């Protein structure tokens, strides 16, 4: 697993992909920080997180689009799948590599927060920077990012074409977040319950409100596990077809 992780991680920086991802992430988060906090004198970062949530929905599929698709196209999967590495190790390595890149991007939020905290605490108005809200948002965005990554890798495993992988994952990501809206239009109770149970956005919003519920954390973790598991099944199934 570590061999795969190391190679995948390095590969984000031997191609422009990793740099472009980080540049776009830093650029947009900076822009939203300026719009929602700096220009209006607010120290509440929740709108920065909210905007980044939507950016990630589109940006992360681009980070993950080549993970599996490219292996298949270049036939390098003949190396990884015939080497003594378990399927779990293979998928976990690829997931973690993308996740670490994502974390490097998301870590910039801490820098913004420290800056804002210094400004707020030094303003002499007696107000404190809302660290609880910040951590809620941060944990939420990290879990959400991990879900988007596992979705992206899963869709990437279904195709040899990177573009299709990217567009497909953006579609799935949007759908995941639209469940909340869709459930409003469903009148059959048990269907409504099912859709509500799968709805991501509402549970994410609880994090942004600073509520750490174990139930919600488990929900996101299980989404991550399910999509990574599906990826493993897709690779396994291809061997048997």
Which residues of the shown chain bind another protein in the complex (CB under 8 A)? Answer: 2-4, 6-7, 10-11, 14-15, 74-86, 239-241
Q: How far is the CB of 167 from another protein (least distance, A)?
A: 23
Quick one: DSSP state of residue 36? Answer: I
- Of the two residues 42 and 86, which places its CB atom closer to another protein in the complex? 86
Q: How far is the CB of 120 from another protein (least distance, A)?
A: 45
Separation of alpha carbons 138 and 194, rounded Å: 27
38: helix, coil or strand? helix
158 close to 61: Cβ distance less than 8 angstroms:
no
- Of the two residues 18 and 168, which places its CB atom closer to another protein in the complex? 18
Which of these, 239, 41, 221, 214, lies nearest to 157 by C-alpha position?
239
Q: How far is the CB of 230 from another protein (least distance, A)?
A: 19
Chain centroid, CA 173 distance in Å: 10
Quick one: DSSP state of residue 49? Answer: H
Angle at 197 (CA atoms; ends 195, 199), nearest 5 degrees:
65
Q: How far is the CB of 27 from another protein (least distance, A)?
A: 25
- Of the two residues 10 and 31, which places its CB atom closer to another protein in the complex? 10
- Of the two residues 14 and 39, which places its CB atom closer to another protein in the complex? 14
Biggest CA-to-CA distance, the chain: 68
Separation of alpha carbons 187 and 190, rounded Å: 9
Using CA atoms, how far residue 113 sits from 50, 51, 202, in Å, is 15, 16, 24
Q: How far is the CB of 4 from another protein (least distance, A)?
A: 7
Q: How far is the CB of 239 from another protein (least distance, A)?
A: 5
- Of the two residues 215 and 239, which places its CB atom closer to another protein in the complex? 239
- Of the two residues 9 and 53, which places its CB atom closer to another protein in the complex? 9
């Amino acid at each position: 697993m570590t061999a795969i992780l190391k190679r995948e991680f390095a590969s984000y920086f031997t191609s422009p992909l990793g740099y472009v991802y980080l540049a776009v992430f830093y650029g947009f988060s900076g822009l939203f920080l300026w719009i929602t906090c700096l220009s209006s004198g607010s120290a509440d970062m929740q709108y920065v997180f909210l905007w980044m949530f939507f950016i990630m929905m589109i940006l992360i599929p681009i980070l993950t689009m080549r993970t599996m698709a490219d292996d298949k196209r270049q036939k390098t999967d003949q190396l990884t799948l015939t080497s003594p590495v378990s399927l779990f190790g293979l998928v976990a390595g690829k997931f973690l590599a993308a996740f670490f890149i994502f974390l490097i991007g998301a870590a910039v939020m801490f820098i913004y927060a420290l800056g804002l905290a210094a400004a707020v605490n030094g303003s002499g108005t007696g107000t404190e920077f809302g660290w609880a809200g910040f951590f809620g948002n941060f944990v939420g965005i990290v879990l959400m990012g991990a879900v988007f990554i596992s979705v992206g890798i899963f869709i990437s495993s279904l195709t040899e074409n990177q573009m299709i992988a990217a567009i497909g994952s953006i579609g799935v990501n949007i759908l995941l977040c639209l469940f909340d809206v869709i459930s409003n239009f469903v009148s059959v109770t048990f269907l409504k319950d099912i859709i509500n149970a799968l709805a991501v956005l509402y549970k994410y919003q609880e994090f942004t409100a600073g509520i750490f519920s174990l139930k919600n954390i488990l929900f996101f973790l299980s989404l991550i596990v399910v999509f990574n598991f599906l990826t493993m099944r897709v690779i396994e199934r291809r061997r048997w077809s």
